[in-house]
């Protein structure tokens, strides 16, 4: 395998920033490892604004990784990043057409910035390089590179869900967007559910034939579409969870609750994460179980994200109101039921918080995968593990079937799951955790990137890692009954 990798994503995580809190997520670690193994370049937006776009490439080499970044001008950031990516595609891909904004300027800005990405990265791509593009920001990039003469093998991995055809057709120019994606050789999704939605679209809306191996023949080329469920850097996370920083965070949190049970939520402040519904479910639990109301604390860690977008400002206000309301109703002089924290923490401290928590509450309304669920499992003490309550609408539910799977829209259902988790006998907790841990360990981020890169090389398909949709299996009530 002598080909280099050209990784392209909206933002680039430069290794030298790794020491900063939360700066080096599992994805950055995985992609850096892939680049170290194959050699190559990670290209994307620097995150910086420039008055006028120049296309100047800032090349840096740190810890053996070469990064190349460009700055964008304010109109690009408004229309491409805050606009089409985060006000059109993100809500649509998370089934929120009520929040989806269709503005022609956003679409034009999106195409313009993708074109700018293509022009800037073009001179970096050499003969045998493999090109790996990430996420919804850059769906048309493969097609633009093809138009500029790139013949290399190119792959796209989508970190979000792929919406049902009935929702996607509400997007103006949807055919053009999907047709542009078919210029990639490999298109990867988190789960078989999103893959099936995509294949449904290309069959029903584009009249294309899907082969039994899920490949699509398009304009004389074969496009491979497949599920590659992303995982965490298991070894690194487990090691961090056993270290002194994690132990210290664990002990501080435990001491502060004085013997009460701890429920933890860790999410970017995003409407897709179901935070408002989660607060309401916890409120219902407190109301329905007055005898337990003083003995459980919800720690919700939610660093703000995308603060320039109005729907994110609204969710923030909504959560502050709900937290204030519940704390007002249930707090005592020496006790507050919800601790709501808007900041990031170093990964080792997060691991300590997870380990201290009796319940991991991961209840997104829709999520491509959700790595917090996997981190929570990896951080537990196998002898005395906590219980994962997981939304059936997270991609992670395809793999983590031994969690308590819930419908996050039903506050009664989530409230009952909280009660059940708090009362779950040790044997059952251990047994569930044992199976969950094996799944998180076996499908880690290394396996994800090796599978994707193999597919990019044109190797045979590995066995599918997840089963059919969890929504197709037993009713959620059966799972917490
Ligand atoms: P996200 O929507 O950001 O990712 P998620 O998969 O849960 O969601 O990853 C969040 C990461 O940020 C986790 O590693 C978590 O530990 C970290 N994080 C969250 N809050 C933090 C805090 N306060 N301090 C420090 N770290 C914090 C998108 C998709 C997901 C998909 C991932 C990867 O939306 O569905 O799983 O990409 O593909």
Helix (H) or strand (E) run with residue 187 in it: strand 186-189
Report CA(372)–ligand 1 centroid distance (Å).
Answer: 6
* Same domain flag for 246 and 185: no
pLDDT, position 64: 85
Same domain, yes or no: 142 and 168: yes
Tell me the CA–centroid distance for residue 427 and ligand 1, in Å.
Answer: 30
**pLDDT at residue 469 tops 60:** no
Q: Is residue 97 part of a domain?
A: yes
Ligand 1, atom nearest to 161 Cα: 35
Q: Are 194 and 257 in the same domain? A: no
Structural domain includes residue 138: yes
Mean pLDDT, the chain, integer: 92
| Top-confidence residue, 184 or 311 | 184
- State yes or no: pLDDT of 24 exceeds 80: no
Q: How many whole angstroms from 211 Cα to the centroid of ligand 1?
A: 34
Return the higher-pLDDT residue of 465 and 100: 100
Within-domain flag for 296: yes
pLDDT at 472 exceeding the cut of 50 = no
27 — pLDDT class (breaks 50, 70, 90): confident
Using alpha carbons, list the distances in angstroms from residue 290 to 180, 294, 419: 56, 8, 12
324, 192: one domain:
no
Residue with tokens 């093998």, as numbered in its chain: 153
Decide which of 194, 227, 260 is a domain's last residue: 227
Considering the domain architecture, whether residues 292 and 373 belong to the same structural domain is answered as yes
Tokens of 396: 């992670």
Predicted confidence at residue 37, as pLDDT, reads 87
Report if residue 412 sits inside a domain.
yes
Give the chain's domain count.
2
* 450 located within any domain: no
Same domain (yes/no): 306, 392: yes
Query: Of 442, 460, 476, at which residue does a domain stop?
Result: 442
Residue 435 covered by a domain: yes
- In this structure, the answer to whether residues 132 and 24 fall within a common structural domain is yes
**458/460: higher pLDDT:** 458
The predicted-structure confidence for 429-459, as pLDDT tens digits, reads as follows 999 999 999 999 999 999 999 999 999 998 7
Average pLDDT for 405-428: 98
Confidence of residue 21 (pLDDT cuts 50, 70, 90): very low
Q: What is the pLDDT of residues 266-286, one digit of tens each?
A: 999 999 999 999 999 999 999
Model confidence over 181-209: pLDDT tens digits? 999 999 999 999 999 999 999 999 999 99
* Residue minimizing CA distance to atom 16 of ligand 1: 372
CA torsion, ordered 132, 15, 441, 37, to nearest 10 deg: 60
Whether residue 283 is contained in a domain is answered as yes
Longest dimension (CA), the chain: 71
Choosing from 194, 370, 451 the residue with most ligand 1 atoms within 8 A of its CB, the one to mutate for a pocket test is 370
Same domain, 186 and 125: yes
- 32-38 long-range contacts (CB < 8 A, ≥24 apart) are 32/63, 32/65, 33/446, 33/449, 34/5, 34/7, 34/132, 34/449, 34/453, 35/5, 35/7, 35/64, 35/65, 35/66, 36/64, 36/65, 38/1, 38/3, 38/4, 38/5, 38/130, 38/453
Mark whether 125 and 248 lie in a shared domain. no
- For the segment 453-471, the average pLDDT, to the nearest whole number, is 68
Position 479 pLDDT exceeds 70? no
Does 465 have pLDDT greater than 80?
A: no
pLDDT at 189: 98
Of all protein residues, the one whose alpha carbon is nearest to atom 28 of ligand 1 is: 159
Domain that holds residue 136: 5-227
Asked if residue 266 and residue 209 are part of one domain, the reply reads no
**What is the per-residue pLDDT for 467?**
54
Report the C-alpha gap between 174 and 97 in whole angstroms: 14
Please state the atom number of ligand 1 nearest to the C-alpha of residue 232. Answer: 14
Instruction: Ligand 1, residue 395: give the atom nearest the CA.
Output: 35
Distance from Cα 388 to the centre of ligand 1, integer Å: 16
Span 327-360, pLDDT tens digits? 999 999 989 999 999 999 999 999 999 999 999 9
7, 453 Cβ separation under 8 angstroms: no
In percent, the amount of the chain with pLDDT more than 70 equals: 92
In a domain, 468, yes or no: no
In the annotation, is 367 catalytic?
Answer: yes
Of 159, 250, 398, 413, the catalytic one is 159
Whether residue 250 sits in one domain with residue 222: no
Quote the pLDDT of residue 33: 82
Residue 142 and residue 180 in contact, taking contact as beta carbons nearer than 8 Å: yes
Q: Is the predicted pLDDT of residue 474 greater than 50, yes or no?
A: no
CATH of the domain at 263: 3.40.50.2000
> Parallel, antiparallel, or unpaired: how do β-strands 58-62 and 65-72 relate?
antiparallel
Residue 54 and residue 195 share a domain: yes
Ligand 1 contacts (CB < 6 A) are 22, 25-27, 159-160, 230, 266, 268, 301, 303, 344-345, 350, 367-372, 375
Domain end residue (candidates: 177, 200, 227): 227
Contact 89, 159 (CB under 8 A): no
What's the 371 CA to ligand 1 centre distance in angstroms? Answer: 6
What is the reported pLDDT for 464?
52
Task: Express each pLDDT in 252-267 by its tens digit.
Answer: 999 999 999 999 999 9
């Amino acid at each position: 395998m002598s080909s280099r990798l050209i990784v392209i994503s909206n933002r680039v995580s430069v290794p030298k920033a790794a020491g900063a809190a939360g700066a080096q997520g599992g994805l950055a670690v995985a992609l850096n490892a892939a680049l170290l193994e194959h050699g190559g370049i990670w290209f994307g937006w620097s995150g910086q604004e420039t008055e006028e776009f120049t296309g100047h490439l800032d090349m840096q080499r740190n810890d053996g990784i070469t990064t190349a970044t460009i700055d964008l001008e304010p109109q690009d950031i408004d229309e491409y990043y805050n606009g089409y990516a985060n006000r059109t595609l993100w809500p649509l891909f998370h089934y929120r057409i009520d929040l989806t904004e269709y503005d022609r300027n956003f679409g034009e800005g999106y195409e313009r910035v993708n074109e700018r990405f293509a022009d800037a990265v073009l001179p970096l791509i050499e003969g045998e390089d493999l090109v790996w593009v990430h996420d919804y920001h850059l769906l048309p990039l493969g097609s633009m590179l093809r138009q500029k003469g790139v013949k290399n093998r190119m792959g796209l991995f989508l970190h979000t869900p792929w919406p049902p055809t009935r929702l996607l057709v509400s997007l103006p120019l949807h055919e053009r967007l999907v047709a542009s994606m078919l210029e990639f050789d490999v298109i990867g999704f988190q789960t078989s559910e999103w893959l099936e939605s995509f294949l449904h679209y290309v069959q029903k809306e584009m009249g294309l034939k899907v082969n039994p191996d899920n490949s699509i023949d398009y304009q004389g080329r074969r496009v491979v579409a497949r599920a590659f469920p992303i995982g965490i850097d298991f070894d690194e996370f487990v090691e961090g969870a056993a270290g002194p920083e994690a132990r210290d965070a664990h002990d501080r949190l435990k001491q502060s609750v004085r013997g009460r049970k701890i429920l933890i939520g860790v999410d970017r402040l995003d409407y897709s994460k179901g935070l408002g519904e989660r607060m309401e479910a916890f409120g219902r639990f407190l109301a329905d179980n007055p005898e337990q109301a003083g003995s459980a604390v919800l720690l919700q860690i939610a660093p703000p994200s995308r603060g320039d977008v109005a729907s994110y400002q609204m969710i923030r206000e909504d959560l502050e109101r709900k937290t204030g309301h519940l704390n007002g109703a249930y707090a005592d002089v020496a006790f507050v039921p919800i601790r709501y924290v808007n900041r990031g923490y170093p990964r080792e401290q997060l691991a300590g918080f997870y380990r201290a928590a009796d319940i991991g509450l991961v209840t997104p309304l829709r999520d491509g995968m959700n790595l917090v669920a996997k981190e929570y499992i990896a951080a537990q003490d196998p002898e005395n593990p906590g219980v994962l309550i997981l939304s059936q609408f997270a991609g992670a539910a395809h793999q983590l079937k031994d969690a308590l799977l819930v419908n996050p829209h039903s506050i009664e259902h989530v409230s009952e799951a909280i009660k059940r988790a708090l009362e779950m006998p040790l044997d059952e907790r251990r047994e569930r955790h044992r199976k969950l841990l094996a799944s998180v360990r076996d499908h880690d981020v290394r396996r994800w990137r090796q599978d994707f890169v193999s597919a990019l090389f044109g190797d045979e398909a590995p066995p599918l890692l997840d089963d059919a949709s969890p929504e197709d299996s037993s009713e959620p009530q059966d799972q917490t009954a």
